[in-house]
Every structure is written in structure tokens, then in C-alpha cells.
Amino acid sequence: MELTPQMADYERKFTDAGEVRWLPYMMYFHPANYRSTVVNTDCSGFRYSDRGGIRYSVSDRAGMHSGRLLAGSSTVFGIGASADRWTLSSRLSENDPRATPWLNFGGRSFNSAQEVILLALYRHLLPKIEEIVLFSGFNNLGLARQPARNRLEHGAFFNCGQFFNAFSSGPVAGKRKGWPLFGRARDAGPPPRMADQIDFAADLTLRHLDVWRAIAVDLGAKLTFILQPLAGWVRAKGCPQEEALFAELDRVGRFSAAYGDILHRDVCAAYAAKLEEGTKKLNVNFVNITPIISETLQPDQWLFVDRIHFTDWGHEFVSKLILDAI
């Protein structure tokens, strides 16, 4: 925690053993009305963005009549940022020369189905939306490793192994704490072949992206899908701070143990190719931001706090690349 002390706040309140709210339809969402120096949420659990000292959110728009929407999972929510003003949505708002600010529409640990459901449930709170950036794609790929009985027609979700086990053995009594983030049913067997994982994740992502496309058309908003990066996709070896953090994460056995082969750059290329082909058919703008980051990032620049979430500087850096790409 010496390198990333802010992560303690996320661990206390925004993991499965924290104060995650179990909600109908979405499964889970962030604590509502949470306050700290690191992260603050509104009455619905959306994180605040900050521009010029003015904060705003989906449920607390501070007089905002129109906005831009940054949607996705935990990277969009801002895991890793030391304060609300350092999330991607805040940095986009600060760095975008256009006057319209960006709302944080991220949901921690969401797959693409949950991202769509979040939009369906909270669309009524949105102002006029001029543009949507869906910064996503990794969770579907990581969850494609789940056995077919967990994936079913609409894809697996985090904690699905424990969820199905609990309901197959009778009613669930109360809130279950401590479910591991990368939870997996016992005796699940080996994961599918990587090519099959990529095909499944790409099909699922594109299926749900088509719903975003339809809603964006109805809203009159421009839509861009950006495939979020992983540290191993960006460069083979991180800066010294990253390597120290990755070694500690490997020691406690979380990310690389769960995802291993997904971290290779050829997986990014194959997955991005599938998504690009599909987005062309949907007439949706697609950006694979990984090679853009790779071409720009210097060896000593500290981008990641873990293999998927950014430092404060990383949010600032990536926000500018997003604005250039869209």
C-alpha cells in the first residue's frame, strides 16, 4: 500500500467484502451517498466527476442541462484514482475544450449486460446526452473463461459461481460477505480455448453494443466503443512501480492467477480485430487504445496501479488520448 495508499479505501468499501449493495436486476452496485477523501458517490451510487471544483453526477447534476457519458466498468468508475478529480470522467471534463462535461457512468465489476441494464434503469436521470464513450471490453473476455453452465446465453458475471450454488441449494439468508472477486464454481474444469473465449466475448460485447447503438440513435448522441487496455497489452515490462505492484499482486494470487493467458499482446490483437469487424457492421466508431498508448508511453512513466486500473497520471494521460481518438 506504500505506492497506492488510496487503494485501501476501495478495498474497504468497493469490493465484495465491503459495502456493495445487492440490487434487483443489476446484481450489485456501489454504496450510495458514500463520502471520503478518495471517492464519493451520489444517492444512486454513481461516482462524482469534478471540473473546476464543481462536482456533478448522474443523480446530482448541479444544474447541468446537457452532458457527455463515459460508461463502462471499474476503470471508468475510477479504481486507482486518489480522488474524484482524477478519474477519467473528471480528466475528460477538464481537458475537453468543449463546454459540456462528462458524467461517470461506470459500474465496478460489470459485464456488458450489466452496463446495458444500468443504462436502462437510470436513463430517466440523464440530461440531454451529446456523446457516449463506452470504455469497456475486458470483463467480458475475463468472464468468458467461466464454464458454459455459468455463461448461459447472456454471459457470466462476477460471483456467478457462488450465486448459482447458493440458489441451487435453497434460499439465501442475508448478505454474503467475502465472495472472491474472481469467484468460480468448484470442479469447473479447464477454461475454454483462448480462441473460443475471444469469440464468445466479442459476440456478447457486440450484441450489447447494438443496444447502446439503438439508444444512442434515440438520444441523438454520438457513440464510440473503446477497448480498454491491460498492462500486459501495452508493454511487456512495466515501469519500476508497476513491476513492484504486479509482483505483490502475483504473490497474493489474484489477477495473473485468474487471467494468465489473457495478458498476452496477441490476445489483444485478436480480440480487437473481432470487435473492429463487428463495430463496422453496426456503424459504431471503434478505438483500440492499446497501440495508441504503447506508441506514446515512455518506459519510466507509471500508468497502472494494477494490471487494469490507472494511476492519477494515467487517467490524465489516457483522457487526452481518448479526446484525440474520438
What are the two backbone dihedrals, phi and then psi, of residue 248, each rounded to the nearest 5 degrees? Answer: -70, -40
Residue 67, pLDDT above cutoff 50? yes
pLDDT category of residue 219 using cuts at 50, 70 and 90: very high
pLDDT classification of 291: cutoffs 50, 70, 90: very high
pLDDT at 156 over 80: no
Least confident interval from 16-25, 85-94, 228-237, 295-304: 16-25
Number of neighbours of residue 114 by Cβ within 10 angstroms: 23
Helix (H, G, I), strand (E, B) or coil at 71: strand
Beta bridge partners of 27: 23
Higher-scoring residue by pLDDT: 190, 29: 29
> Structural domains in the chain?
46-171+190-325 (3.40.50.1110)
Q: What's the pLDDT score for residue 2?
A: 77
Q: What is the pLDDT of residue 176?
A: 42
Q: How many CA atoms lie within 13 Å of 89's alpha carbon, on the beta-carbon side?
A: 36
Model confidence at 187: pLDDT above 60 = no
Q: Phi, psi (5° rounding) for residue 86?
A: -105, 5
**pLDDT score for 143:** 82
Picking from 71-80, 138-147, 196-205, 218-227, which range would have the lowest pLDDT averaged per residue? 138-147
The span from the CA of 140 to the CA of 114, in Å, is 11
Burial of 97 (0-12, 13-18, 19+ CB in 10 A): exposed
Check residue 307 and report its DSSP letter: S
Q: Cα–Cα distance between 147 and 254 in angstroms, integer?
A: 19
Q: Could you tell me if 142 and 200 are in contact, meaning their C-beta atoms sit under 8 angstroms apart?
A: no
Flag whether pLDDT at 99 surpasses 90.
Answer: no
* Average pLDDT rounded to a whole number, residues 51-70: 92
Q: How confident is the model at residue 73 (pLDDT cuts 50, 70, 90)?
A: very high
Task: Kindly give the interhelix angle for 289-296 and 312-325, rounded to the nearest 10 degrees.
Answer: 120
Helices (H) and strands (E) in the chain, counts: 14, 9
Give residue 21's pLDDT. Answer: 74
User: Contacts by 155-163 with C-beta closer than 8 Å and gap 24+?
Assistant: 155/111, 155/112, 155/113, 155/200, 155/204, 156/111, 157/27, 157/109, 157/111, 157/113, 157/114, 158/16, 158/109, 158/111, 158/182, 158/183, 159/16, 159/27, 159/28, 159/183, 161/185, 161/186, 161/188, 163/27
> Which of 60-64, 151-155, 229-233, 282-286 has the lowest average pLDDT?
151-155
Residue 185 — pLDDT band, cuts 50, 70, 90?
very low
Looking at the predicted structure, is the pLDDT value of residue 122 above 60?
yes
Mean of pLDDT values over 290-306: 97
Q: What is the pLDDT of residue 249?
A: 87
Question: pLDDT (tens digit, 9 = 90+) per residue, 249-266?
Answer: 888 876 676 777 898 999
Query: Can you tell me the mean pLDDT for 95-109?
Result: 94
Alpha-carbon torsion (127, 131, 136, 140), positive or negative: positive
Average pLDDT, the chain: 88
Which range is least confidently modeled, 10-24, 34-48, 90-104, 274-288?
A: 10-24
* pLDDT at residue 171 greater than cutoff 70: no
183 pLDDT more than 50: no
